Amino acid sequence: MGQNVPECGSSTDYEPVCGRPHGVSLDRHGQLIVADSYLGLHSVDPKTGKKTLLLSNSQGADGVPFAFLNGLEISSQTGVIYFTDSSSRWGRRHVKLEVIELNRLGRLLSFRPETRRVSVLLDSLYMPNGIVLSPDEDFLLLAETSIGRILRFWLKGPKAGTKEIILDNMIGYPDNIRLSSHGTFLVGITTPRFRKFIPPFLDLIAPYPAVKRFLAKVIPLSCYNILLPRYALVLELGLDGEILGTFHDPEGRLTWAISDVFQHRGKTYLGSTDLPFLPVLEEWDSFSSAECPQETF
């Protein structure tokens, strides 16, 4: 979405200049809507490549600029664009600092293309990430990654405009949430929180703000990767947040750090925050029931 310079893709330091698309979805008119973490909401014509800025990060909402646009979902009924701003402090390239500091600086927002009106639906969120509309679009689910929680925000009915927690103290940190091909929710878990001899690293430092601030200042971001297990985990949820199944690659033989799970034409695609390729599963439905044991990809 940004400048096309030779350095793009070589380092995260160039992301604010080059742009970093995060959420992507087609609208009702066949236009590609892109949430660029640094450069705002854009509309892109898939045929010509022409891009149009809808809402810049500097514009923000309610006087607060965006710093880290992330999740994106578009209503097929109304055309409203729902999106998350994960932090007003850290940009995408410093996502690990946002997780470590456990800030409540994120927001859920909506944007109406016909009026160019942006609204804050929820604020003071813990790194809001992936969002997904329910099949009837009466609510959406939102992942608060840094705290390991999933919220439901009601869009219609007597609870419209309210939120509720449907999963808390999760077994891992949720990233994106998608509808499966049969109407359930699939949640990618970037890092599990399995306890072994000692608690997971983030759990261990969570009660100590001074330690977290110190680590954020002195330890390079790349060093945190050695503390994270290579483990792939996906949760399948029912409409009320009940866990219907779990899917595992405990040794990371195929993939790990699952950021997204997307089903299309009978195949399941697994995104990862760490890997430069996209694993594709030929079969999935046979495992999608509450009675199924945990399986390895």
Token couple for 159: 């609870």
| Cβ(54)–Cβ(69) below 8 Å | no
**What was the pLDDT predicted at 288?**
45
| Cβ(7)–Cβ(18) below 8 Å | yes
pLDDT in tens, the chain (297 residues): 888 888 888 888 889 999 999 999 999 999 999 999 999 999 999 999 999 999 999 999 999 999 999 999 999 999 999 999 999 998 898 888 888 888 899 999 999 999 999 999 999 999 999 999 999 999 999 999 999 999 999 999 999 999 999 999 999 999 999 999 989 999 999 989 876 666 677 777 777 777 777 777 777 766 666 767 889 999 999 999 999 999 999 989 999 999 999 999 989 999 998 888 999 988 765 444 433 334 444
Ramachandran region of residue 78, left (φ > 0), alpha (ψ -120 to 50) or beta? Answer: alpha
Q: Determine the Cα–Cα distance for residues 295 and 205; give it in Å rounded to an integer.
A: 31
One-letter amino acid at 103 equals: N
| Cβ(288)–Cβ(180) below 8 Å | yes
**What was the pLDDT predicted at 115?**
95
**What was the pLDDT predicted at 40?**
97
Q: Determine the Cα–Cα distance for residues 150 and 176; give it in Å rounded to an integer.
A: 11
Q: How many CB atoms lie within 10 A of CB 88?
A: 16
**What was the pLDDT predicted at 199?**
67
| Cβ(86)–Cβ(127) below 8 Å | yes
Report the half-sphere exposure of 221 (CA within 13 A, side-chain side).
13
Strand order in 69-74's β-sheet?
A: 69-74, 81-85, 106-112, 117-125
125 beta partners: 106
Q: Is the pTM of this model over 0.85?
A: yes
**What was the pLDDT predicted at 195?**
65
SS3 63: coil
- Alpha carbon 92 to its chain's center: 12
